[in-house]
Amino acid sequence: EIVMTQSPATLSVSPGGRATLSCRASQSVSSNLAWYQQKPGQAPRLLIYGASTRATGIPARFSGSGSGTEFTLTISSLQSEDFAVYYCQQYNNWPPLTFGGGTTVEIK
Binding site for other proteins (CB under 8 A): 32, 34, 36, 43-46, 49, 55, 87, 89, 91, 94-102
Give the number of other CB atoms < 10 A from CB of residue 94: 13
Sign of the torsion angle spanned by Cα atoms 73, 17, 81, 7? positive
CA distance 19 to 11: 8
Nearest to other proteins of 17, 104 (CB atom): 104
* Residue 92 C-beta: closest distance to other proteins, Å: 9
* Residue 14 C-beta: closest distance to other proteins, Å: 26
Give the bridge partners for 33, in sequence order.
90
* Residue 32 C-beta: closest distance to other proteins, Å: 7
